[in-house]
Amino acid sequence: MEHSEVKAIYNKYIREKNLRDTKQREFIIEEFLSSKKHITVEELHGQLEKRTGNIGIATIYRTLKVMCECGLANEIKLGREKARYEQSFGYEHHDHLICEKCGKFIEAKDERIEKLQKELVKKYGFSPRAHKLEIYGLCSACKQKRRKDG
């Protein structure tokens, strides 16, 4: 669990793009990789404040953008909420079931849906680059709670 593979990809990317290796980015990436999935910039900023002292929030935005560019993170934007970021290395594409009560993200996957999507775009001569399936509703825990609360 040393994140060496992710860091190797990151290092390769910054070399290719003539970016520089900085302490701040290392701290941010380390913290990002060690955190819960679907973290916000604000949350990361708070965690870094405690562990490594202040790092400008703009730098966190910038670093996560780089992580997305090199395919190591995904940005998830829902409606008007602030963006969340998830690791993408070692994770396959998945859909999100999003609980509108507690905010939980459930990651789900169905090979058959993926396959049908490929058929769908083909029908329209469309070349897909990425796709996103989000299902909004109530998770089972919140459903039960609601039943009790009335």
Partner DNA sequence: CAATTACTGATAATGATTATCAATACCATT
Partner DNA sequence: AATGGTATTGATAATCATTATCAGTAATTG
Residue 95 interacts with a second copy (CB under 8 A)?
yes
Residue 68 interacts with DNA (CB under 7 A)?
no
Of the pair 8, 116, the CB lying nearest a second copy is at 116
Determine which residue in the list 4, 16, 20, 36 makes contact with DNA, applying CB under 7 A.
Answer: 20
Coil, strand or helix: which one is 150?
Answer: coil
Alpha carbons 87 and 37: distance in angstroms, whole number: 7
Pairs from 83-88 (Cβ < 8 Å, separation ≥ 24): 83/40, 83/41, 84/38, 84/39, 84/40, 85/32, 85/38, 85/39, 85/40, 85/41, 85/44, 86/37, 86/38, 86/39, 87/6, 87/32, 87/33, 87/37
Of the pair 61, 136, the CB lying nearest DNA is at 61
Determine which residue in the list 4, 54, 127, 140 makes contact with DNA, applying CB under 7 A.
Answer: 54
Listed ranges 31-39, 54-62, 123-131, 132-140: which one lies at the site for DNA (CB under 7 A) = 54-62
Binding site for a second copy (CB under 8 A): 77, 79-80, 95, 97, 99-100, 106, 108, 110, 112-113, 116-117, 119-121, 123-140, 143
